């Protein structure tokens, strides 16, 4: 019987009790514990084979002498003590894919708002103003470039398919292909940008992607193109973005993430009518804990079948 320790790390304001309930339902033969005090958590760690949470405090890790798997509840894992976990030969998995459906719908919502001028409709509604206006057009026939073809990029691509758009995927390993009509590498991105109507950033923040969308990249886009960022703010050169929007060299931007973040109240990005901003909420979903629990349940089924704690879904270490 596997013993699972759930750390008390709330995500997106959702109570951890929902995660505990989902794990208990999906793994009825496992023992799922969720202590509320630090002392009880450290004690519970001593015989836990699985620990799951957002962070892994040193005192908990030191006590976890039976630990075989740390199941992170976030897609990111660079905040974890990976060196120590590797030395202890502990497998680490993340929550990649949990956010795919909701972030993809966030992106589609922005694209539809832009192409159909729904934001202008809202402004006229606020003024109780009944006057016709010309919408920009239709998504059909446009080209959408998606940087990053992981779970989120794939979910975005799949939801775009019924709209009749052409899709270009940009990824570090283009030889792997992807769900888009065309795939290219980062070194070819400008050749993709010149054909792009909508540029969607869904990539992780790495040394390669930091500042990827700089002045040159923005200048490669047409004056009617739209930038959508649901990755990390630092992927975009914010000063360059402000300049091209101020000069009318970009059709608009939709940003769930910014650099800096939070975006200061006096930042110029707030003042552009064609810039849509949400405060890093695209990842929010009421299905978060149930999807996270499903990943851990499937992995423990693999362990039971194979007897091995490696080769798991979403494994990032070793």
- Enumerate the active-site residues: 232, 261, 280
How many CB atoms are located within 10 Å of the residue 272 CB? Answer: 16
Q: Which residues of 231-251 are buried (b: 16+ CB within 10 A; e: fewer)?
A: bbbbbbbbebbbebbeeeebb
221, 168 contact by CB (below 8 A): no
**Largest CA-CA distance found in the chain, in angstroms, rounded:** 69
**Residue 240's closest CA among 251, 250, 226?**
250
- 10 Å CB burial of residue 15 (0-12, 13-18, 19+) is exposed
Pairwise CA distance, residues 229 & 236, whole Å: 8
How many CB atoms are located within 10 Å of the residue 104 CB? Answer: 24
172, 186 contact by CB (below 8 A): yes
């Amino acid at each position: 019987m596997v013993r699972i320790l759930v750390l008390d790390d709330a995500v997106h304001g959702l109570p951890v009790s929902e995660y505990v309930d989902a794990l208990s339902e999906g793994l009825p033969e496992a023992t799922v514990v969720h202590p509320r005090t630090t002392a009880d958590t450290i004690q519970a760690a001593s015989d836990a084979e699985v620990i799951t949470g957002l962070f892994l405090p040193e005192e908990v890790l030191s006590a976890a002498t039976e630990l075989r798997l740390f199941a992170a509840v976030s897609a990111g894992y660079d905040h974890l003590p990976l060196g120590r976990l590797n030395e202890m030969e502990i497998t680490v998995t993340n929550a990649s894919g949990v956010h795919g459906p909701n972030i993809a719908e966030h992106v589609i919502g922005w694209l539809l708002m832009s192409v159909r001028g729904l934001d202008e409709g809202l402004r006229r509604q606020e003024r109780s103003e009944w006057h016709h206006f010309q919408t920009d057009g239709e998504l059909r026939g446009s080209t959408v470039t998606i940087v990053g073809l992981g779970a989120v990029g794939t979910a975005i691509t799949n939801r775009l398919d019924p709209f009749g758009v052409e899709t270009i995927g940009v990824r570090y390993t283009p030889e792997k292909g992807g769900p888009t009509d065309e795939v290219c590498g980062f070194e070819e991105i400008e050749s993709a940008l010149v054909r792009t109507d909508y540029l969607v950033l869904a990539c992780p923040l790495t040394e390669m992607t930091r500042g990827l969308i700089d002045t040159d990249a923005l200048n490669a886009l047409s004056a009617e193109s739209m930038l959508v960022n649901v990755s990390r703010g630092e992927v975009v050169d914010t000063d360059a973005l402000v300049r091209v929007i101020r000069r009318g060299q970009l059709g608009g931007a939709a940003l769930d993430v910014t650099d800096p973040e939070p975006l200061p109240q006096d930042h110029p990005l707030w003042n552009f009518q064609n810039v849509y901003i949400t405060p890093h909420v695209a990842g929010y979903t009421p299905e978060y804990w149930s999807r996270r629990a499903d990943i851990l349940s499937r992995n423990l089924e693999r362990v039971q079948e194979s007897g091995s704690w490696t080769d798991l879904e979403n494994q990032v270490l070793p």
